Homo-oligomer: A and B are copies of this chain.
Amino acid sequence: MVTRHQKLGLDDTTVLKMYETMLLARRIDERMWLLNRSGKIPFVVSCQGQEAAQVGAAFALDREKDYIGAYYRDLALVLAFGMTSREVMLNVFAKSEDPSSGGRQMPGHYGQKKNRILTHSSPVTTQVAHAVGITLGARMKGDSAISLVTFGEGSSNQGDFHEAANFAGVQKLPVIFFCENNKYAISVPTSKQLACEKVSDRAIGYGMYGKTVDGNDPLSVYEAVKYAADRGRKGEGPSLIEAICYRLTPHSSDDDDTTYRTKDEVSEAKKKDGVLTFAAYLREANILTEDIEAALEEKIKHLVDDATDYADAAPFAEPESTLQYVYDEKGEI
């Protein structure tokens, strides 16, 4: 019997690697909450519930060449693009070595040039235009890299989404607009954010290909993003892919989600959690055996412990370094 992933051209090793990345993201995320609740770190923003979508998307790209414009929930995505557990924890602890910002930005504000992860800020949706610009620059320089940029469904209502999408459409740039629709923008449900049925309904307005897929299933996401990536590389322009997920945690460690959604709703969603369902799929396909699973958990626990210890012990940047890097220090002024 040919499995679903084989039909998509993915071998067993690759899907296992996908699962491993999802699981690593989940375990780091869980650790972050523990650190927060025990007073070690002041802030957490989570990827839980979106790992499957992120990993499915990442694996459909050329991770040695393409660019990602990530947003604050994209822990699994940046791990897939080469950020290490230690590097993530250095960001969480805001230490000097944090590759994203040297401890300057809040946790979750990923960026790393060597892995082609664009730096991003807190104001949502600005990164969408940057990802478009990346491909404009690349095209000008004869580089066939494409970019994938992520954002929430709430953020898809910002003007910057529209302007950047239209720009990419007109210029036929190989950008994948990847909406991680987790049903909430903090407390505001999609019914108060959107009047369209699907975010991907907006694709036609930019002459794009649009598709909505199950964000709990990394294979569906992989398939859609792969199709979009191929289109992009063939010069057929941008695509808008929407992955339907669910935000399993409160918006952040500062949020109390019980004031606006029921516990029942959350526990229902947990049943469809992609980390669980993909594990089930892999077990079914006999790829995730008990031994492999135990070894994986063991390896990941070790990675997370090591990353936590390392980051906890690492130094903060010097106070005076606050003054550095406002402008290019090799240049004038």
Query: How many interface residues does chain A have, given as a range?
Result: 20 to 34
Q: CA of A206 to CA of B193 in the docked complex: distance in angstroms?
A: 10
User: Which of B161, B166, B193 has a CB less than 8 Å from the CB of A194?
Assistant: B166
Contact of A326 with B by CB under 8 A: no
User: Which chain B residue shows the least CB distance to A164?
Assistant: B159
Interface string of A179-221 (1 = CB under 8 A from B): 0000000000001111111000110111110000000000000
User: Which chain B residue shows the least CB distance to A202?
Assistant: B205
Contact of A107 with B by CB under 8 A: no
Q: CA of A157 to CA of B158 in the docked complex: distance in angstroms?
A: 13
User: Which of B160, B166, B193 has a CB less than 8 Å from the CB of A157?
Assistant: B166
> Which A residues from 125 to 159 make CB contacts under 8 A with B?
157-159
In the complex, what residues of B have CB within 8 A of residue A169's CB? Answer: 194-196
Contact of A237 with B by CB under 8 A: yes
Q: CA of A166 to CA of B157 in the docked complex: distance in angstroms?
A: 7
Contact B157 A163 (CB under 8 A): yes
CB distance from A206 to the nearest CB of B (A): 5
User: Which of B161, B163, B192, B194 has a CB less than 8 Å from the CB of A158?
Assistant: B163
Contact B204 A196 (CB under 8 A): yes
In the complex, what residues of B have CB within 8 A of residue A161's CB? Answer: 162
Interface string of A90-128 (1 = CB under 8 A from B): 000000000000000000000000000000000000000
Contact of A170 with B by CB under 8 A: yes
Q: CA of A195 to CA of B162 in the docked complex: distance in angstroms?
A: 12
Given contacts A158-B163, A161-B162, A163-B158, contact A193 B205 (CB under 8 A): no
Q: CA of A88 to CA of B158 in the docked complex: distance in angstroms?
A: 36
Q: CA of A103 to CA of B187 in the docked complex: distance in angstroms?
A: 47
Q: Using A157-B162, A195-B207, A196-B205 as known contacts, list a sample of 20 further A-B pairs with CB atoms less than 8 Å apart, ordered by residue number in A.
A: A157-B163, A157-B166, A158-B159, A158-B162, A158-B163, A159-B159, A162-B163, A166-B194, A169-B194, A170-B192, A170-B193, A170-B195, A172-B195, A194-B207, A195-B237, A196-B204, A197-B207, A204-B204, A204-B205, A205-B205
Which A residues are closer than 8 A to B by beta carbons? Answer: 157-163, 166, 169-170, 172, 191-197, 201-202, 204-208, 237
Report 25 cross-chain contacts, Cβ distance below 8 Å, ordered by A residue. A157-B162, A157-B163, A157-B166, A158-B159, A158-B162, A158-B163, A159-B159, A159-B160, A161-B162, A166-B194, A169-B194, A169-B195, A170-B191, A170-B192, A170-B194, A172-B195, A194-B207, A195-B206, A195-B207, A195-B208, A196-B204, A196-B207, A201-B204, A202-B204, A202-B205
